[in-house]
Amino acid sequence: MKVRRIFDGIIDGRLVVVKWVLRSPFCEHPSEMVFSPDVTAYADKWYDVHVSGLYAMEILAALGYDNDDRLSDVISFAKKLHNIIPDDWDCNQRDNAGDIIRHVMSVIADDHEGEMVDNASYNTVLEHPLRGRPYLQRLVQQWDPDDDIRRFRRRYLVRGAERRQEGGISSSPLRGVSEVVDMAADFALTDRRLIEQAHELARKRDVLFTRVSAMVEELKRLREEVDKAAMRAGVAVSKAEAAERTIVVLREEVARLEQQLAMHEGESQNSGPHCDDYVSTVQSPGVGEEGPSRASPYP
């Protein structure tokens, strides 16, 4: 299965990983997949979402294209798979599901840069038990979570200026209030970034700890192999020493046998003539020094 990681970051204090997964084109499509009349072709993209290591959500993005193969409409279907994703959205908190979907739309916008119509938009269909989140119907564009804080700050300042104009109040106090609002927004942005950095450092620490543990286990395994090799080498040395001792004993035995053989050969040479006379006497009985005896013809 072909997989590509498109997002890896911290959302609401949790590590979120979004992966694009290549699936069969014959997968069943939801009945809500209805494009605008300008769409003449479409393609599917599936995304698996893991939150804190848990398989938490699944997103199907149906991409609609016009006659010029430009992206026109996107219909996203979000399905909750784990309770780590809240069913509803509290306006006072970050929306995990909404941020994940907007990150996916941002990646789609990057992939289709220069290949979209001017008003390409997306619509989100939430599968039960997910509900609410009416803001997930926007233009397909790049998105940064910090944009929400900046937008909130601008909206707050505009409302303050409108109230100042309507009430005819001196601008000096409100100028101080606007500065406080700016400082509060900057502090919120900085605090959020620090929290994300802290979570990222914690994640890297866990990864580093895992790698160090794996290295320690590998070193233990190598040490055991070295000890076994040293033991085998010691056994081989002992066998070699025993073989050398056996060779020395055999050499001494060979030398002793050679010495005995030499002594035996010397004794054989010294007693050689007597042995020949004895053999001649035995083989020729009745033969003296004057030759063989003859019978006398005379009585």
Is 157 within a domain?
Answer: no
Number of Cβ within 10 Å of residue 72's Cβ equals: 25
| Structure token pair of residue 180 | 């406080």
Signed CA dihedral, 151, 154, 160, 161: sign only: negative
% the chain with pLDDT above 90: 17
Burial class (CB in 10 A: 0-12, 13-18, 19+), 122: buried
Compute the distance between CA of residue 147 and CA of residue 209 in angstroms, rounded to an integer.
35
Plot region of 227 (φ>0 → left; ψ -120 to 50 → alpha; else → beta): alpha
pLDDT at 48 over 90: yes
Within-domain flag for 9: yes
Top pLDDT among 92 and 139 is at: 139
Angle between helices 272-283 and 171-270 (to 10 degrees): 50
CA distance 153 to 87: 28
Within-domain flag for 27: yes
Residue 83's domain spans which residues? 3-143
Strands (E) located in the chain = 3-11, 14-21, 41-51, 54-65, 71-80, 116-126, 137-139, 287-288, 291-292
Indicate the DSSP class of residue 75: E
Residue 125 located in a structural domain:
yes
DSSP 79-142: EE-STTS-SS--TTS--HHHHHHHHHHHHHHHHTTTSEEEEEEEEEEEPTT----TT-EEE---
Paired tokens of 12: 């609401």
Residue with tokens 């100028």: 175
Asked whether residue 218 is domain-assigned, the answer is no
Looking at the 3D structure of the chain, how many domains does it have? 1
Count Cβ atoms within 10 A of the Cβ of residue 78 and give its class: 0-12 exposed, 13-18 middle, 19 or more buried.
Answer: buried
- Answer whether residue 222 is part of any domain: no
Whether residue 54 is contained in a domain is answered as: yes
Q: pLDDT per residue over 176-203, tens digit each?
A: 555 555 556 566 666 666 766 776 777 7
Q: Assign residue 69 a region (left: φ > 0; alpha: ψ between -120 and 50; beta: otherwise).
A: left
What pLDDT score does 148 carry? 63
Query: pLDDT tens-digit profile of 103-143?
Result: 999 999 999 988 999 889 898 988 888 888 888 888 888 88
Whether residue 289 is predicted with pLDDT greater than 50 in this model: the reply is no
Q: What distance in Å separates the CA atoms of residue 88 and residue 126, rounded to the nearest whole number?
A: 11
Mean pLDDT of the chain: 77
Q: What is the pTM of this model?
A: 0.52
Is position 131 within any domain? yes
Is the predicted pLDDT of residue 70 greater than 60, yes or no? yes
